[in-house]
Chain A
Amino acid sequence: DTGVSQDPRHKITKRGQNVTFRCDPISEHNRLYWYRQTLGQGPEFLTYFQNEAQLEKSRLLSNRFSAERPKGSFSTLEIQRTEQGDSAMYLCASSFLQGSYEQYFGPGTRLTVT
């Protein structure tokens, strides 16, 4: 399978705990995006990487959130001191650096904070 993969698919955590999600993009893709989707809403942009550089962050990305993409391959999204409002689906997408910039999405990580 050469699509975008995410791990874990589901995560249940208690409020105040830290969690980390992983995304493996399509191997030839230089750009990697993180989005968050709550129930009944469309996904909202969080941040994006071009190769290993994090070039843009949304105001939704509070200082409890941090994302990395070491060596320009996989990416991790960490949430510290989780809150119930962090419960959502976290989606990763990737695209080529040029052309149509069509984004391909992974299956998502469903986070539930109790």
Chain B
Amino acid sequence: KQEVTQIPAALSVPEGENLVLNCSFTDSAIYNLQWFRQDPGKGLTSLLLIQSSQREQTSGRLNASLDKSSGRSTLYIAASQPGDSATYLCAVTPPGAGSYQLTFGKGTKLSVIP
């Protein structure tokens, strides 16, 4: 059974700092990995998707990397801003023909202090 772990559970940084969020998964056989952002009481916003054949994806100040063989992904946020404060979730989908259901970690709660 696939398990996804995110460390740390919470992180507080001063504004302007660069930071890295970590995600690990137990089964390296994945189809893709998605990073999401969730604001309190809200739904999920997709940030980046990395397919299993890719090593990284970039969007603005965000960069996500994937090392499938070691079961790890990182989300790098450059020049953090107070508006980046949210919970960040990573999720993986299994390979093969099927539901491509997402298996999520519990998330990292990020606070960016002005």
Is B114's CB within 8 Å of the partner chain A? no
A107–B42 touching, CB < 8 Å: yes
Contacts of B89 in A (CB 8 A): 42-43
Stretch from A64-72, A73-81, A96-104 contacting the other chain: A96-104
A105–B46 touching, CB < 8 Å: yes
Contacts of B71-99 to chain A: CB distance below 8 A:
89, 91, 93, 98-99
A48–B101 touching, CB < 8 Å: yes
For the residues of A in contact with B, the DSSP-based class is strand
Q: Mark A40-56, 1 if CB is under 8 A from B, else 0.
A: 11111100100000011
- Most chain A CB within 10 A, of B4, B89, B98, B100, is at B100
How many of A's residues come within 8 Å of B, CB to CB? 27
Measured CB to CB, the nearest residue on chain B to A55 is B99
A56–B99 touching, CB < 8 Å: yes
A40–B101 touching, CB < 8 Å: no
Contacts of A93 in B (CB 8 A): 44, 102
What residues make up the interface of B, taking CB atoms closer than 8 Å to A? 4, 31-32, 34, 36, 41-46, 49, 51, 89, 91, 93, 98-107
Give 28 CB contacts A-B under 8 Å.
A31-B100, A33-B99, A35-B102, A40-B106, A41-B106, A42-B4, A42-B89, A42-B106, A43-B89, A43-B104, A44-B104, A45-B99, A48-B99, A55-B99, A56-B98, A56-B99, A91-B43, A91-B44, A93-B44, A93-B102, A100-B32, A101-B31, A103-B46, A104-B46, A105-B44, A105-B45, A108-B43, A110-B41
